[in-house]
Chain A
């Protein structure tokens, strides 16, 4: 590239920035050939409509997705994941307008399972939330650029999040299926191991949970996680949450599995131990009726979750360090329900 061409290229990038078509970082300007290749990688026609995207409520086409995926830095082979992720958040139950525009400030966390993880290099291990991994970084960014440019969810205008969070740049992880002592998340939820899937869960920012003592055993680790999940802020005004994600790190998983615990045991233990006394909730959140604290005596135990299946347990994280992570969910199911979609990879891809 000649100096003048390079200067024009930079000017073009700056124009995208000035027009507000980005997340605040530079983008790759899409060329016609590049768009055609990206559309082809989706296995669908350019004018195929994925759904109607809020808050602008306009039809979202494959071509628009392709353009934003290029801008985000995606490779063509990422397209099936980007498309499935968008289809997941466009399901009516996800109610995208709510997580996209709410003052609460959550972002769809995407969890990818199945063979496509390895095929496109999605990271499930160290620094799973980044930085350093193109597929994780650009797939989530593509979804966010679609939400901004097609959906119209611009910060401070229609996206009214009070604080936002770093996951609004990208929030994509793979499950460490190979390193997990349990069946993969998607198999647990009814898919076959050969299928690739993406789950979409509207979540707050990740919260780290350290428990450094192997002798604490499964109960010590899981009590620390339950305590992190049961903070007073988690008892929002809308009632028990639709879902919350728990990412168990390798060292925690080893301790738990070596004691003979199944994933179901983990969910059941967290279900039983996530909660607060009614008195604390009444003092801090005003005894919201939906949460069942109005008539409860102060020492009554108020559970956080409606059932153990609401706790999505996923294996991820680097090999060293006695840490897990919780990504607390958004709100009660009437505001947003988490989704799961099969990733359709076109035969030619």
Chain B
């Protein structure tokens, strides 16, 4: 969100356990409805290969969010 405010296209990736946390932070920072890429929880216990797979799985969401272009946060 902060990167996008500075004009840098960015996507925040959350595990599903932190969806509500992310939505709350977005609201707090004046960006209600901000969309996140959501992946399964947890990631802290994955090995490198599993983590890479999780990144692959997240890719379509990340690309979609970047290409569809959420309006930069805080910009009318």
**Contacts from A to B (Cβ < 8 Å):** 55-56, 152, 154, 156-158, 160
Query: Once bound together, how far apart are the Cα atoms of A154 and B28, in whole Å?
Result: 13
**Beta-carbon contact of B25 and A158 below 8 Å:** yes
Q: Would you list 16 pairs from A and B whose C-beta atoms are within 8 A, ordered by A residue?
A: A55-B25, A56-B28, A152-B24, A152-B28, A154-B24, A156-B20, A157-B20, A157-B21, A157-B23, A157-B24, A158-B21, A158-B24, A158-B25, A160-B17, A160-B18, A160-B21
Q: Which residues of A sit under 8 angstroms from B20, Cβ to Cβ? A: 156-157
Least Cβ–Cβ distance between B5 and chain A, in angstroms: 16
Complex interface: chain B residues within 8 A of A158 (CB): 21, 24-25
**Within the assembled complex, what's the spacing in Å between the Cα atoms of A160 and B15?**
13
Q: Which of A55, A56, A154, A157 counts the most chain B CB atoms within 10 A? A: A157
What is the interface size of chain B, counting residues whose CB is below 8 A from a CB of the partner?
A: 8
| Top-3 shortest CB links A-B | A157-B24, A157-B20, A158-B24
Q: Which residue of B lies closest to A160 (CB)?
A: B21
The interface residues of chain A lying within 8 Å CB-to-CB of B25 are: 55, 158
Residues of B contacting A152 in the complex (Cβ-Cβ under 8 angstroms): 24, 28
CA A55 to CA B23, docked complex, whole Å: 14
Per-residue CB contact flags for chain B residues 5-22 toward chain A (1 = under 8 Å, else 0) read 000000000000110110
Residues on the A chain within 8 Å of B17, using CB: 160
Instruction: List chain B residues, Cβ under 8 A from A157.
Output: 20-21, 23-24
Whole-angstrom distance between the Cβ of A41 and the nearest chain B Cβ: 31
Question: How many angstroms between the C-alpha atoms of A115 and B32 in the bound complex?
Answer: 49
Complex Cα distance, B20 from A154, in Å, reads: 11
**How far is A156 from B24 in the complex, measured between Cα atoms in Å?**
10
Cα–Cα distance between A253 and B64 once the two chains are bound (Å): 66
Minimal Cβ-Cβ distance residue in A for B23: A157
In the complex, what's the smallest C-beta–C-beta distance from B51 to chain A, in angstroms? Answer: 18
Q: A154-B24, A157-B20 are in contact. List 14 more A-B contacts (CB 8 A).
A: A55-B25, A56-B28, A152-B24, A152-B28, A156-B20, A157-B21, A157-B23, A157-B24, A158-B21, A158-B24, A158-B25, A160-B17, A160-B18, A160-B21
Inter-chain CA distance A156–B19, complex, in Å, is 10
A15 CA / B49 CA spacing, docked (Å):
50
Cα of A154 to Cα of B27 in the assembled complex, Å: 14
Chain A contacts for B18, CB-based, 8 A:
160
Q: Which B residue sits closest to A159, measured CB to CB?
A: B21
Q: How far is the CB of B28 from chain A (nearest CB, A)?
A: 6
For the complex formed, measure the closest distance between the CB of B71 and the CB atoms of chain A, giving whole angstroms. 24
| Residues of A close to B23: CB separation below 8 A | 157
State how many angstroms separate the Cβ of A61 from the closest Cβ of chain B: 18
CA distance A156 to B18 in the complex (A): 9
Q: How far is the CA of A154 from the CA of B18 in the complex (A)?
A: 13
- Write the nearest CB–CB distance from A162 to chain B, whole angstroms: 10
Q: How far is the CA of A144 from the CA of B52 in the complex (A)?
A: 40
